[in-house]
C-alpha cells in the first residue's frame, strides 16, 4: 500500500517535471532563442531585446514587438513601463537596448548620464500623441481653456467641481484621476498647463497604469482625468472628450489635430532611442528598421496617432544615418 502511494507521488511529480521540461519543444512561437534558432515562424534572427520607458509609448512598442515576432519568432522582446525618466536611467546604465520616451531626452539631466555611461544613441520619432482630457459621460463639458485646466490641476487647487471654474458647468463633485509622478505624461502635462514640471495638486487618484485611469474616469459620475490619447481611443464609448482652448478656439484631439500640431499645447512626439551598441546586433537593427518601415501600421494597431509621411521620411533618414555611422 505504501509502495502504491510512493508510486503515485513519483508518477505525478514526474509528470509535472515532464510537462515543464519537455512541453516547450513542440510549441510554435515560444522561447528557446538561445539553444535553437527559431523553429517555425520563419526568420533566422534570434536574441533578446530589452525595451523600457514611457507607458504612453509602450502600446506602440508592444504592438511592434508582436507584429515583428510574427515573422521572427526567435526574438524575445520585453517591454517595460518604468516611465520615461525611469527608462532613461536604465538606458544610460546600459541595462536596456531601446528606450521609449514621450519627450526628448533631457539635455541637462539625462544626456550627461548617458555620456558618463558611454551610451550613444539615436533619436527616432515613431509616432505622435496627445494628452486627452476626459470626463465621465455624465459630466457633460465640451471645452476648457488652458487657464481653467491650470486652475483645476495646479498645486494647492481647491476646485471641487467644474462649477468652481465656470458657473455654467455642472457642480458634480469631481473624482480626479491622473498619472503618477514618474510618468512622462505627468511631466508633460504639468509643464504645459501648470507652468512647471512636477507641480500639481496632490489629491487625485494617481496611477502609473493609464488603464486604471480610464476605468476610473469612466466609472465615476464625476470622473475627470488626463492620459494618453491612445488610451482614450481604446475606451472612447465610455468617455466624454473635452476640447482644449489655448487662445485660438476649442480644439478636440484627433489624429489630424495632433499630427499637424493644432491641438496645443498637449500634443507631443513619441520617440524610441536605440543605443548604438544594441544597433550592432542584427535583431535590434532589423527590429528598428521594421518599426520605421511599418510605423503607420503599428500605430494603427496600437491605436496611437501615426507619423505623417514627412515625419516617416525623417525617421527613415535618421535610422539610415545611424546605421551608416555605426
Partner 1 sequence: MTGAQIAARAAGRSVIPKAARRDRAFAAFFRALMYGAVGLSVLALATLLYDVARDGLPKLSVDFLTSFPSRIIPANSGIESAIYGTLWLMVVCAVIVVPLGIATAVYLEEFADRTKWWNRVVEVNIQNLAAVPSVVYGILGLAFIVRGPISLGRTVLAGGITLALLVLPVVIIVAREAIRAVPSSIREGSLALGATQWQTIWKQVLPGSIAGIATGVILALSRAIGETAPLLVIGAAVNPRFNPEGLGSAFTALPIQIFAWTQDPNREFVDLAAAAILVMMVVLLLMNSFAIFLRNRYEQNW
Partner 2 sequence: MGRRTSLVRRPSGRSRFEAAIKAILFGAAVVSILTTLAIVFSLLKETIAFFGDVPVGDYLFGTKWTPQFQGDQQSFGVLPLVWGTLYLTGIGLLVAIPIGILSGMYLAEFAPTRVRKIIKPVLELLAGVPTIVFGYFALTFFTPEVLRNALGLGVNQFNALSAGIILGVLVVPTIATLVEDAMAAVPQSLREGSAGLGANRVQTAIRVVFPAALSGIVAALVLGTSRAIGETVIILIAGGQTANLSLNPTESYQSMAAFIAATARGDIPTGSIEYETIFVVGMTLFVFTLVLNMISIRMVRRYRQVYE
Contact set with partner 1 (CB under 8 A): 1-2, 4-6, 8-9, 12-13, 16-17, 19-20, 23-24, 27, 29-34, 59, 62-63, 65-66, 69, 76-78, 209, 211-212, 214-215, 218, 231, 234-235, 238, 301-303
Pick from partner 1, partner 2, none: which does 89 bind, CB < 5 to 8 A by kind?
Answer: partner 2
Give whichever of 40 and 313 is closer to partner 1, judged by the CB atom: 40
Residue of the chain from 192, 220, 233, 283 that contacts partner 2 (CB under 8 A): 220
Q: Which of partner 1, partner 2, none does residue 205 bind (CB under 5 to 8 Å by kind)?
A: partner 2
How many Cα neighbours within 13 Å face the side chain of 266?
A: 30
Positions in 229-268 near partner 2 (CB under 8 A): none
Place of cell 472612447: 236
Which H or E run includes 160?
none
Q: Residues 41 to 60: which contact partner 2 by CB under 8 A?
A: 52
Q: Using alpha carbons only, what angle is made at residue 26 by residues 21 and 29, rounded to the nearest 5 degrees?
A: 105
Set of cell numbers at residue 213: 485611469
Question: Which residue, 239 or 307, is less far from partner 1 as judged by CB?
Answer: 239
Among 151, 154, 161, 212, indicate the residue that binds partner 2 (CB under 8 A): 212
Using CB under 8 A as the criterion, what x/- string covers residues 177-196 for binding partner 2?
---xxx--------------
Among 33, 74, 216, 253, binds partner 2 (CB under 8 A): 216
Distances (CA, A) of 315 to 36, 125, 176, 290, 323: 34, 6, 37, 12, 12
Give the number of other Cβ atoms within 10 Å of residue 113's Cβ: 16
Of these partners, partner 2, partner 1, none, which one is at the site of residue 123 (CB under 5 to 8 Å by kind)?
A: none
Tell me, by CB under 8 A, how many residues bind partner 2.
29
Sign of the Cα pseudo-torsion (176, 181, 186, 190, in order): positive
Q: Which residues contact 185 (CB under 8 A, 6 or more apart)?
A: 54, 55, 56, 102, 131, 179, 210, 226, 227, 228
User: Minimum distance between the CB of residue 94 and partner 2, rounded to whole angstroms?
Assistant: 14
Q: Residues 55, 72, 135, 175: which binds partner 2 (CB under 8 A)?
A: 175
Shortest approach of partner 2 to residue 181 CB, angstroms? 4
Give the C-alpha distances (Å, rounded to integers) separating 107 from 110, 196, 243.
Answer: 6, 17, 32
Residues 108-147 vs partner 2: string with x where CB under 8 A?
----------------------------------------
Contacts of 280 (CB under 8 A, 6+ apart): 326
Locate cell 504612453: which residue? 56
From the list partner 2, partner 1, none, pick the one residue 27 interacts with, judged by a Cβ distance below 5 to 8 Å according to partner type: partner 1
Q: Which does 158 bind (CB under 5 to 8 A by kind): partner 2, partner 1, none?
A: none
Q: What is the rounded CA–CA span in Å between residue 301 and residue 296? A: 9
Query: What dihedral do alpha carbons 190, 193, 199, 205 form, nearest 10°?
Result: -60
Residue whose C-alpha cell is 484621476? 177
Query: Cα-flanking dihedrals φ and ψ of residue 49, to 5°?
Result: -120, 125
Which C-beta is closer to partner 2: that of 187 or that of 283? Answer: 187
Residues that bind partner 2 (CB under 8 A): 52, 80, 82, 86, 89-90, 155, 175, 180-182, 198-200, 202-208, 212, 215-216, 218-221, 223
Amino acid at each position: 500500500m505504501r509502495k502504491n502511494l510512493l508510486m503515485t507521488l513519483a508518477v505525478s511529480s514526474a509528470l509535472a517535471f515532464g510537462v515543464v521540461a519537455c512541453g516547450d519543444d513542440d510549441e510554435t512561437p515560444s522561447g528557446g532563442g538561445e539553444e535553437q534558432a527559431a523553429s517555425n515562424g520563419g526568420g533566422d534572427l534570434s536574441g533578446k531585446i530589452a525595451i523600457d520607458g514611457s507607458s504612453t509609448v509602450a502600446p506602440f512598442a508592444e504592438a511592434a514587438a508582436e507584429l515583428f515576432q510574427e515573422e521572427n519568432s526567435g526574438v524575445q522582446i520585453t517591454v517595460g513601463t518604468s516611465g520615461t525618466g525611469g527608462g532613461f536611467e536604465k538606458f544610460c546604465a546600459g541595462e536596456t537596448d531601446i528606450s521609449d520616451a514621450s519627450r526628448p531626452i533631457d539635455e541637462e539631466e539625462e544626456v550627461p548620464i548617458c555620456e558618463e555611461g558611454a551610451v550613444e544613441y539615436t533619436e527616432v520619432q515613431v509616432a505622435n500623441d496627445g494628452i486627452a482630457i476626459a470626463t465621465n459621460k455624465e459630466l457633460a463639458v465640451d471645452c476648457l481653456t488652458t487657464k481653467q485646466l491650470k486652475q483645476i490641476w495646479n498645486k494647492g487647487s481647491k476646485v471641487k467641481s467644474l462649477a468652481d471654474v465656470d458657473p455654467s458647468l455642472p457642480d458634480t463633485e469631481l473624482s480626479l484621476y491622473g498619472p503618477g509622478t514618474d510618468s512622462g505624461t505627468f511631466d508633460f502635462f504639468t509643464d504645459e498647463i501648470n507652468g512647471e514640471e512636477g507641480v500639481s495638486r496632490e489629491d487625485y487618484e494617481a496611477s502609473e497604469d493609464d488603464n486604471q485611469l480610464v476605468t476610473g474616469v469612466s466609472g465615476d459620475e464625476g470622473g475627470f482625468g488626463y492620459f494618453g490619447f491612445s488610451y482614450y481611443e481604446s475606451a472612447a464609448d465610455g468617455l466624454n472628450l473635452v476640447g482644449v482652448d489655448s487662445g485660438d478656439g476649442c480644439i478636440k484631439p484627433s489624429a489630424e489635430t495632433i499630427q499637424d500640431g493644432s491641438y496645443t499645447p498637449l500634443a507631443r512626439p513619441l520617440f524610441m532611442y536605440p543605443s548604438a551598441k544594441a544597433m550592432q546586433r542584427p535583431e535590434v537593427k532589423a527590429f528598428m528598421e521594421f518599426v520605421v518601415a511599418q510605423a503607420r501600421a503599428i500605430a494603427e494597431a496600437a491605436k496611437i496617432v501615426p507619423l505623417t509621411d514627412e515625419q516617416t521620411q525623417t525617421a527613415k533618414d535618421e535610422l539610415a544615418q545611424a546605421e551608416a555611422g555605426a
